[in-house]
Amino acid sequence: MNAFLAQLLNGLDKGGAYALIALGLTLVFGTLGVVNFAHGALFMLGCFCAVTFRYFLTIETVTIDPTKLSPWGAPVEVRTPLVQSWLGDWGAILVDYSVPISVLFTVPVMLVIGIAMERGLIKHFYKRSHAEQILVTFGLAIVLQEIVKSFFGANPKPQPIPADLRMAADVGAWFGMEAQKLTYPLWRLIYLLFSLGVIGAVFAFMRYTTFGMVVRAGMADRETVGLLGIDIDKRFTIVFGMAAVVAGVAGAMYTPLLPPNYHIGMDFLVLSFVVVVVGGMGSLPGAVVAGFLLGVLQSFASMNEVKSIIPGIDQIIIYLVAIVILLVRPRGLMGRSGVMES
Amino acid sequence: MTEQNIGRRRLLKSMSAGFAATVASPLVFTSRGYAQEFCNNPGDKDPIFGFNVPQTGTYAEEGLEQLKGYELAVKHINGEGDGGLMNTMKPMALKGNGILGRKLQYVTGDTQTNTDAARDGARRMIERDGAIMVTGCVTTGEAVAQQALCHELGVIYMSGLTHGNDTTGKDKRRYGFRHFFNGYQSGVAIAPILAEEYGRERRAYHLTADYNWGWTQEESIRDATEALGWETVKAVRTPLGIGDYSQYLTPVLNSGADVLILNHYGHDMVNSLPQAVQFGMRERMANGKQFEIIVPMFSELMAVGAGDAVKGIIGTQNWNWQLEDEGSKAFTNSYGAAYGEPPSQSAHTGYVQTLLYADAVERAGTFYPPEVIKALEDFEFDGMGNGPTLYRGSDHQCFKEVLAVRGNSNPTSRFDVLEVIGTTDREKVTYDHAIFGGELGPYEPNQC
Amino acid sequence: MFSLSRKDVTTLAIFSVIVLTMPIWLSPLGAAYPGLMQKFAIYAIFAIGFNILFGLTGYLSFGHAAFLGVGSYTAVWSFKLLSMDMIPALIFAVIFAGIFALFIGYFSLRRSGIYFSILTLAFAQMSYSLAYSVLTPITNGETGLLIARDDPRAIDALLGVNQTTSGMPTPSLLGFDLGGYGGFYICAVVSIAAFFLSQKIFASPFGMALRGIKSNQTRMKYTGFDTKPYMLTAFVISGMFAGLAGGLLAVTDPIAGAERMKWTESGNIVLMTILGGVGTLVGPVVGAWLIKYFENIFSAINVNMLNAFFDFLPEGMQAVMVTILSKFVGEGWHLTLGLMFVVIVVFLPGGLVEGTERLMRWLRRRSKERDEPTGQVASGRTGNE
């Protein structure tokens, strides 16, 4: 039972991440009709927003101590962190909490990046074929990766969890179970809540604001909305910026769980496409449901009890589920007809 | 080589030459093939080495470190710089004037950590650039793929970072040589340290990367720890490159195990180790003992990538710049002077392999591969950083001391994330080559 | 059977000449060595086959690398069990890839658009994951399937051919060695044959039907036309081309690794095709060559070579040039590739081939307008162009 509950938690946690990553992609798919292969790169940029933020916080002054020598005879450098020396204890706390605080830094940066990308490149490709969209966004993703690589190198950049949040929470005890029987890393629980919060915010925005209403109308019938005299293009730019922000904050908060390297976006690219398509093209709730479904199923498939019956099932479960769902339901879980079907 | 074989090749050459004359202009074909008696014989020209390492993809950093080691070795062989290990290696035939009096040149390539790209790169070096030796890799897949190719083409391959038993076991080749240690040696080397640190009554849970390297590593560590008296609770296979290992880590907590052994390499380990720590495993008590995590195979860059999680974790390493012997000091000095930072084991392996090959050529007095191979086989040397070392002839594996290391709990810089806590003697890590099977194959080059 | 339109014959002739003279024209580009030229010819086959599906029907498969991998594995197993001769290896590679394509296509073709793409991707990724891990007894997993001296090789043993007197056994064609240039010319001839075949398919009624499906599947269905068998045939043919390419990869270099089936490889062939021009006959081939060229030649340029190249410049200038350019070659070759994708797709819509044609047409029109400011076009002259 404990094992089951633990895997359920794992599944929800994974699902939160999958849904969050897929959300931005399906938004761009559904509204702009663009196959965005640079979405993984946006996630990666979000990760590196957190890395950069911490880098700025930990900038050090370097003084050279001529009395000590390194093994090859060069003088040893003495480093003192700047922020701590200016702000004292507050600086230390700031550094400790760099990852959650970096989300505040990530939002404007990703918004600017997203809008710049859309205005500079993507908007010229709305009327081009999907094939060309793939090529241009993939090329863009490679360029972004290489830029990050030239600044940060190829090795992963680990980001710490704030010291107070680093423990494993005794989830079982919260629900009246025996102590230490069901523990789970606190940061993962925070990530789950965070992803639910962001998903909720996006949904509320789309449902309850005029802006969201227009965009939803644009998703359904772009031409008619245009004929009504609404400048849909401007709104689409903001939608793309929003997608970038969602992908970015998903990445920034994920850094303590997965030390990011410049390549991390490519590892998530295929997965996010699978989630979006299984959820159904053009459906926001579909992407969320598919994200959680795939996360939970992946966790259960990894249980030793399951693996002993079907060896290797955990290797392929995501793809297997995708195939079964797409064969049973022609447009994924909640897809609308006519979107990306030709 | 049989008569019939030569005849067939000549026939083919004349055929293709004739074919070319009809469809293309004859200037295409190099006459190299006739003048030489073996592949890429440098003749009167400068010898060329091929350095084929991952420069893009997830292992780019390890690869670029290795490349720095190679470039330093070339400088030293050509008599530039302070000579590094040329001063400490014994015996040493190189004179600091290149190889056989000729200046050493090199070409580089990107393997992308992909076996196909690695072989493409090696072929370019051999066929276009005329490389007499190819070296470099960071995974066992790349190593096996390249050494098989090089054997087919009759060019010696000196492998880089490859830890799987297969490289000098099941898939060994006459033309492939490995200085790096392997999974079996890791198991033997780490066992006594584990007994000392954690006692002889432990229950271990393995998480193993689900491919050849992971399996051989798991088997080796299992055998070694079970011989200590440890019990293996469970060994679970995890998919390669999955990123998030939470679903494999939760079952560990209540499994009755008190040790978690992560048979993960590179980015798998960089992800799984911090995640395991986040699950509270380091603070946990199990069976009345402190719960421990072990990573049998370490590298400095992996340790840096795992961040704070690596503190206090025990594993093994091929070489570490903090060793106190003459060779290690000399190499650290000259590498530090050249690049401003201490070398990683990746750089060390690349450097040493280049020097060993060059030295073998110098001793053989020729680049003719069978002679060079014979010079390397059962070659006994010292002063390269791991104590007296033997290049065993029966499987081309090096035998030397293996280091046990621990994640430094208070590193002063990103270069001393690992501290050496013990070495295991060469005799202890020596094994019978027959246990892994495989066949080296013939000395005679095949084709080119 | 062998009749082609005059335009097609010319294209075929030009294509053949270009492929067969590779050793000459690739030489100044630094790419005239057998290893890369074999890859050029083989990936041309792969791209041609992919284009039969994508170019004619518009169905974008994201799992074509699986067929490449199956072809390679089959060929190496044929080397191990039957004979080192390439003929059985290629026959089996094509057959097995075809069967595999039939299976995947049967299910995937129930959906269209992106749903189809994801289905093929899922099948291929499953094959890759299993080949890397659980299926290791068949695929040898990470280290790749290699031939060994003591493999059974039933046919060779039966005929008394013993290749193992010296060195490792190498693939052959009726007793002839396939190393180096021999291997290249074999691949070149096969790729020309593949090109011819795709011309026939493009020009055939079958090809017309496929184009009809591409432009409007629903209308085709309403006219009482059962599109499914046509689509499936196209998919299987395309998979067989990939299997042939995979088999040739094993013939020229007898190893088969799981990485050949990974999604990045499938993505590569998609990029190659789009880069060159979807639906054009030569486009995908050009795209494949360009990407392979970058991967193999640009990645191998290092600072030493740049220094030697800019030796003629004064020292300061040389250092500046080398510093700038070294970001784009060697470890930075991906950056060049990414920029190239963006630039080509922005400035040459429709890919390299179509884009170049459009550009030429535009230039011609402009020069004509300049010649004749009145805008009248002399019809007699255009005929000669």
Residue of B55, B124, B210 lying closest to C33 (CB–CB): B124
Residue of C119, C327, C345 lying closest to A136 (CB–CB): C345
Across the A:B interface, residue pairs with CB atoms under 8 Å apart total 128
- Count of other CB atoms within 10 angstroms of residue A83: 18
Q: What is the 3-state secondary structure (H, E, C) of chain B?
A: CCHHHHHHHHHHHHHHHHHHHHHCCHHHCCCHHHHCCCCCCCCCCCCEEEEEECCCCCCHHHHHHHHHHHHHHHHHHCCCCCCHHHHCCECCCCCCCCECCECCEEEEEECCCCHHHHHHHHHHHHHHCCCCEEECCCCHHHHHHHHHHHHHHCCEEECCCCCCHHHHCCCCCCCEEECCCCHHHHHHHHHHHHHHHHCCCCEEEEEEECCHHHHHHHHHHHHHHHHHCCEEEEEEEECCCCCCCHHHHHHHHCCCCCEEEEECCHHHHHHHHHHHHHCCHHHCEECCEECEEEEEECCHHHHHHHHHHHCCCEEEECCCCCCCCHHHHHHHHHHHHHHCCCCCHHHHHHHHHHHHHHHHHHHHCCCCHHHHHHHHCCEEEECCCCCCEEECCCCCEEECCEEEEEECCCCCCCCCCEEEEEEECHHHHCCCHHHHCCCCCCCCCCCC
B241 contacts on A by Cβ (under 8 Å):
267
Rounded Cα distance, A66 and A84, in Å:
24
Residues 337-356 of B with CB under 8 A from A: 337, 340, 342
| Inter-CA distances, C374 with C144, C263, C369, C370, C377, Å | 67, 55, 8, 9, 9
Residue B419 lies in a domain: no
Residue B416 lies in a domain: no
What is the total count of domains within chain B? 3
pLDDT band at A147 (very low <50, low <70, confident <90, very high): very high
φ/ψ of B51, rounded to 5, equals -105, 105
Same domain, B76 and B20: no
pLDDT at site C212 = 84
* Contact predicate A280/A340, CB 8 Å: no
Least confident interval from B408-417, C45-54, C356-365: B408-417
Give C21's Cβ-side CA count (13 Å radius): 13
Rounded Cα distance, C269 and B422, in Å:
50
Output the pTM of the full model: 0.89
Residue of A166, A167, A257 lying closest to B275 (CB–CB): A257
A147 contacts on C by Cβ (under 8 Å):
335
Strand pairing category for B389-391 and B398-399: antiparallel
Residue closest to C239 by CA, chosen among C61, C75, C88, C39? C61
Residue of A185, A187, A315 lying closest to B239 (CB–CB): A315
ipTM of the complex: 0.88
Residue of B58, B59, B280 lying closest to A183 (CB–CB): B280
Average of per-residue pLDDT across C111-122: 90
| Inter-CA distances, C151 with A138, B212, C143, C166, C233, Å | 43, 21, 18, 15, 36
Residue closest to A142 by CA, chosen among B374, C342, C162, C12? C342
A138 contacts on C by Cβ (under 8 Å):
267, 271, 338, 341
pLDDT at site C166 = 57
Same domain, B151 and B231: no
Residue B404 lies in a domain: no
Q: A6 and B321 in contact by Cβ < 8 A?
A: no
Residue B87 corresponds to which tokens in the numbers above?
């001063």
Same domain, B70 and B172: yes
The full set of domains in chain C, from first to last, is 6-280 (1.10.3470)
pLDDT at site B42 = 82
For residue A1, is pLDDT > 80? no
Domain that holds residue B303: 184-317
Nearest CA in chain A to B280: A168
For residue A94, is pLDDT > 90? no
Residues 56-95 of A with CB under 8 A from B: 70-74
Same domain, B309 and B341: no
Residues 91-130 of A with CB under 8 A from B: none
For residue B35, is pLDDT > 50? no
C341 contacts on A by Cβ (under 8 Å):
135-136, 138-139, 142
Residue closest to A72 by CA, chosen among B333, C376, B96? B333
Residue B422 lies in a domain: no
Residues 313-342 of C with CB under 8 A from B: 330-331, 333-334
Q: C345 and A139 in contact by Cβ < 8 A?
A: yes
C134 contacts on A by Cβ (under 8 Å):
311-312, 315
Residue A176 corresponds to which tokens in the numbers above?
């009246």
Question: Residue B293 is part of a domain; what is its CATH number?
Answer: 3.40.50.2300
* Contact predicate A115/A98, CB 8 Å: no
A312 contacts on C by Cβ (under 8 Å):
129-130, 133-134
Average of per-residue pLDDT across A46-75: 81
Question: Apex CA C190: angle with CA C188 and CA C193, to 5°?
Answer: 110
pLDDT band at B7 (very low <50, low <70, confident <90, very high): very low
Q: C342 and A322 in contact by Cβ < 8 A?
A: no
Best-predicted range by mean pLDDT among A101-110, B54-63, C79-88? Answer: A101-110
The model's pLDDT over C240-290, given as tens digits with 9 standing for 90+, comes to: 999 999 999 999 888 888 889 999 899 999 999 999 888 788 899 999 999
Residue of A121, A143, A281 lying closest to C114 (CB–CB): A281
3-class DSSP assignment, residue C217: helix
Nearest CA in chain B to A271: B242
Q: Which residue spans within chain C are E strands per DSSP?
A: 145-146, 172-173, 176-177, 255-256
The model's pLDDT over A150-174, given as tens digits with 9 standing for 90+, comes to: 898 888 888 989 988 888 888 878 8
Rounded Cα distance, B205 and C378, in Å:
84
| Inter-CA distances, B300 with A122, A167, B270, B272, B348, Å | 41, 26, 11, 16, 12
C293 CB near a chain B CB, below 8 Å? no
Q: B278 and A256 in contact by Cβ < 8 A?
A: yes
Residue B222 lies in a domain: yes
B238 contacts on A by Cβ (under 8 Å):
314
Residue of B61, B274, B279 lying closest to A168 (CB–CB): B279
Residues 197-216 of B with CB under 8 A from A: 210
pLDDT at site A70 = 72
Same domain, B57 and B161: yes
For residue C100, is pLDDT > 90? yes
A303 CB near a chain B CB, below 8 Å? yes
Kindly report the average pLDDT of chain B as a whole number.
85
- In which element (H, E) is residue C242 found? helix C227-252
Same domain, B54 and B173: yes
Helices then strands (H, E): number in chain C? 19, 4
Q: How far apart are the first and last CA of chain C?
A: 31
Residue B270 lies in a domain: yes
Q: How close A51 comes to chain B (CA, Å)?
A: 13
* Contact predicate B440/C168, CB 8 Å: no
Same domain, B54 and B156: yes
Cβ partners under 8 Å of residue B202, min gap 6: B194, B225, B230, B231, B258, B259, B289, B292
The model's pLDDT over A231-251, given as tens digits with 9 standing for 90+, comes to: 777 888 888 999 999 999 999
* Contact predicate B189/B402, CB 8 Å: yes
A-interface mutation test, from B111, B114, B210, B244, most A Cβ less than 10 A away: B244
pLDDT at site B19 = 41
Kindly report the average pLDDT of chain A as a whole number.
86
C-interface mutation test, from A127, A134, A337, most C Cβ less than 10 A away: A134
pLDDT at site B27 = 36
Cis peptide bond prior to A162, omega within 30° of 0: no
Which chains would you list as touching C if contact means 3+ CB atom pairs under 8 Å? A, B
Choose one of B399, B422, B442: the last residue of a domain.
Answer: B399
Residue closest to C145 by CA, chosen among B148, B151, B238, B160? B148
pLDDT at site B317 = 92
pLDDT band at B25 (very low <50, low <70, confident <90, very high): very low
Same domain, B347 and B373: yes
As beta bridge partners, residue C172 has C85, C177
B25 CB near a chain A CB, below 8 Å? no
Same domain, B290 and B249: yes
C296 CB near a chain B CB, below 8 Å? yes
Letter string b/e over residues C52-62, b meaning 16 or more CB atoms within 10 A of that residue's CB: bbbbbbbbbbb
Strand pairing category for B259-263 and B203-209: parallel
The percentage of chain C sitting over the pLDDT mark of 90, rounded to a whole number, equals 34
The model's pLDDT over B216-232, given as tens digits with 9 standing for 90+, comes to: 889 989 999 999 899 99
Least confident interval from B176-180, C154-158, C257-261: C154-158
Q: C217 and A35 in contact by Cβ < 8 A?
A: no
C112 contacts on A by Cβ (under 8 Å):
341-342
Cβ-based interface (< 8 Å): residues of A facing C: 35, 121, 124, 128-132, 134-136, 138-143, 145-147, 150, 266, 270, 273-274, 277-278, 281, 311-312, 315-316, 319-320, 322-323, 326-327, 330-332, 340-342
Q: How close C34 comes to chain B (CA, Å)?
A: 7
B43 CB near a chain A CB, below 8 Å? no
Map out the domains of chain A as residue ranges. 2-57+100-328
For residue B162, is pLDDT > 60? yes
Residue A210 corresponds to which tokens in the numbers above?
């005029």
3-class DSSP assignment, residue C276: helix
3-class DSSP assignment, residue C26: coil
Least confident interval from B5-9, C115-119, C193-197: B5-9
Best-predicted range by mean pLDDT among A168-177, B306-315, C135-144? Answer: B306-315
As beta bridge partners, residue B238 has B209
3-class DSSP assignment, residue C379: helix
C349 contacts on A by Cβ (under 8 Å):
128, 132
Residue closest to A264 by CA, chosen among A118, A161, A162, A144? A144
Residues 129-158 of A with CB under 8 A from B: 149, 153-158
Q: A259 and B270 in contact by Cβ < 8 A?
A: yes
C118 CB near a chain A CB, below 8 Å? yes
Rounded Cα distance, B284 and B274, in Å:
15
* Contact predicate B421/B408, CB 8 Å: no
* Contact predicate B156/B373, CB 8 Å: yes
CA pseudo-torsion sign B260, B261, B264, B269:
positive
Residue B302 lies in a domain: yes
The model's pLDDT over B228-273, given as tens digits with 9 standing for 90+, comes to: 899 999 899 888 878 889 989 988 888 889 999 999 988 889 999 9
A59 or B311, greater pLDDT: B311
Q: A322 and C278 in contact by Cβ < 8 A?
A: no
A308 CB near a chain B CB, below 8 Å? no
Same domain, B20 and B65: no
Choose one of B302, B317, B332: the last residue of a domain.
Answer: B317
